[in-house]
Amino acid sequence: MRTISCNLLRVLSRGRTNYRLAAVGIIALAPLCCSGQDDADQGMQMPNGHVLWIIPDFKTSPELQEYKPLTPKQKFRIAAQDTFDRGTIALAAAFAAESQFPRSEPSFGGGAPAYAHYWITAYSDFAIGNYMTEAIFPTFLHQDPRYFRRGSGSGWSRPGSAVGQIFWTRTDSGGRQFNYSEIAGNSAAVGISMAYYPGNRNASSAVEQLGTQIAVDMAANIVKEFWPSRERRASRKSGVGTR
């Protein structure tokens, strides 16, 4: 498991055509190279906060025996927490720099004004995507936007579960259903973004953006699955109690 993950890391780090997808892969697979296979902490209540010290984590929940759905108000609260978090602002700044370096939008120009334009559009991508996939679509479709952390398992069971939740989710009634909120919500967000990306108004770029966003969400799920275990082990090694 660890050897395979590290090899994939090396392959992704050599990518030249899509730096963002390479970064997503590296972030997602890093915990797999350094973590154990089984934490034996299933059902442990996970605190809200950040993973990798920057990625907002306000919708992770342990895999519960007794399912309790979220109210529409709670779904919108999660979207607001993810959107207005300092980590989201920082990630938008990083994505803006990554986009400005190759001048992915020539119409934005150059220099500081261009960077501000890139930052605003990157932050808009995050904000619209959050509200579409965590609040608006889940409310109308009666689906649960949370990530349910497995916390135990071996081999590829845990990353498999993390990736699988991109495509299958819980309904408010406790059943399982195709994750229309994730796919349709991100599709709607990409469609809206075409209005403020004047150089990318075509179907192929929209499909590429959708694929990138889904890959980002997969990476986030994998990191959320493994990061709490890494954090607890680091705390034990330093003699600090877990929070």
Residue 144 lies in a domain: yes
pLDDT at 23 over 50: no
What mean pLDDT do residues 61-66 have? 78
Kindly state whether residue 226 falls inside one of the protein's structural domains: yes
Q: Which two tokens stand for residue 240?
A: 């600090």
**Residue 121: pLDDT over 60:** yes
Encoded amino acid at 208, one letter: E
Domain span at residue 186?
A: 2-238
Task: Report how far Cα 197 is from the mean position of its chain's Cα atoms.
Answer: 22
Q: Which residues contact 92 (CB under 8 A, 6 or more apart)?
A: 119, 122, 123, 125, 126
Is residue 102 in a domain?
Answer: yes
Percent of the chain, pLDDT > 90? 46
* Confidence (pLDDT) at 55: 82
Residue 243 belongs to some domain of the structure: no
Q: Write the secondary structure of 70-139 as one string of H (helix), E (strand) and C (coil).
A: CCHHHHHHHHHHHHCCHHHHHHHHHHHHHHHCCCCCHHHCCHHHHHHHHHHHHHHHHHHHHHHHHHHHHH
Note whether residue 116 is domain-resident.
Answer: yes
Convert the pLDDT of each residue in 162-182 to its tens digit.
Answer: 999 999 999 999 999 999 999
Beta bridge partners of 60: 147
The pLDDT assigned to 21 comes to 47
- Confidence check: pLDDT of 193 > 70: yes
Q: What is the pTM of this model?
A: 0.75
Instruction: Find out whether 103 and 110 touch, Cβ atoms under 8 Å.
Output: yes
CA distances from 10 to 13, 16, 50, 73, 216 (A): 5, 13, 26, 43, 18
Domain-located, residue 33: yes
Rounded mean pLDDT, 116-134: 95
The pLDDT confidence band at residue 35, using thresholds 50, 70 and 90, is very low
The count of domains in the chain is 1
